[in-house]
Amino acid sequence: MYELENVLRPYAWGSTTAIAGLLGRPASGGPEAELWIGAHPDSPSVALSQSGSAGAHAAVADHGGRRPLDTLIAEDPEHHLGRESVAEFGPRLPFLLKVLAADSPLSLQVHPTLDQARDGFAREEAAGVDRAAAERNYKDDHHKPEMILALTPFEALCGFRPAVEARAVFQLLAADFDLAGLELPPLVPLLLQDLAQPEEHTALRSAFERLINGGEDIADATSAIVAALVSGAPTAPYQAELSTVVTLNERYPGDPGVLISLLLNRISLAPGEAVYLPAGNVHAYLHGLGIEVMASSDNVLRGGLTPKFVDVPELLRTVSFDAVGVPMILPETTMLGQEVFRPPFREFQLQRVELEPGADPVPLAQEGPAVIIVVSGAVLLDSPKGELRLERGGSAFLPAAEAPVNAHAVSGATGTALAFAVTTALKG
């Protein structure tokens, strides 16, 4: 077992206090958006030789007690990942765990399927597009399904709502303009026509395409709608959706994503609730602190609410225009007392580990490699090859060869310990 040092990403949308408060350390003074825990080559965690088996210690001892996790794994993939994981995903850690803290909205985005990622990456490689170029869509040939578990109230946009519901929102806006005696922006009747088409897939695609292509008419209509809302236009029963329009426009005035948000499910997660995000799902996190887990990839196609590159044709090839219910995911309790969130992806599953003082140990639901982070109290990990104590904010990589691993409440400790562990879902 290897204790880890992890990379903190200071994106501008990050909270200045949430991650530090969760992990019990001083704030850095700047935005702290994401803590990456894993072996992604852009920001791999660093494995330390502080504990674990003699073999684990030796693996990093010759490097000053520190070893990038991706490098460490590459030296003996089957030991660290297990034969099944290597056969399925190759000699790489297939998942990435993040602590995410959004103080302002992230970009509207979608992730490709595995086939789309492979094809897109191959096309851009053949065309000689620099992997660091702003216009590069595919940074690797992997897909990026993900899930988010809320630790605080968490706000997000997630997938298309039914066309009839989206049309009702725009009908309310039309009625607001009529009530106030204001001239209705020409865009609104056009969107109402789009959303009235009998085939839902076509209706949603038509409205989305009209908005994503942008232009002065989109910006002007957005400005007029926001002005009407700010002046007190009725918003019931769509208060959350329309207040989100105002908030998004404050940060990205006239951006197509402001009105696209009205085509999407506007969700509020309570602490402990989780959603998963498959390929093609248009989404944006708006505010809150959560545990995010994803397949280890950097493939993101943006659709608005960002100054970054938006490739509209490629985006339209990637988006799924099916209306979906909010893809909530409930935990399963196994016969061993493990609380596990299992989205329909083979790359990862998330286990929530809660330990009261003096409680029996909880076995980790480890299928191949695993990572774990402690967010409250202290946890003692033990395996046939060694043990490792993690305090609040501590994290570790658990090689496949280390299993089985049990999590214990620390003797004499007061208060509840809480940790989150991620492993593959090859047996699911």
The residue annotated as part of the active site, out of 92, 161, 210, 302, is: 302
Asked whether 283 and 109 are in contact (CB, 8 A), the reply is yes
Catalytic site residue 302? yes
∠ CA 408-413-419, rounded to 5°: 45
Which strands, in side-by-side order, build the sheet including 362-363? 362-363, 406-409, 379-383, 386-390
**Residues of 20-38 as b/e, b for ≥16 C-beta within 10 angstroms?**
bebbeeeeeeebbbbbbbb
Residue that has been written with the tokens 């034969």 in this structure: 83
Distance between CA 361 and CA 373 in Å, rounded?
A: 16
The C-alpha R_g of the chain, in whole angstroms, comes to 23
Is 87 exposed, middle or buried, given 0-12, 13-18 or 19+ CB atoms closer than 10 A?
exposed
Residue tagged 């104590």 (tokens): 389
Query: What Å distances lie between residue 171 and 221, 229, 272, 376, CA to CA?
Result: 14, 14, 35, 47
Beta bridge partners of residue 35, listed in sequence order: 8, 99
DSSP 206: H
Positions marked active-site: 302
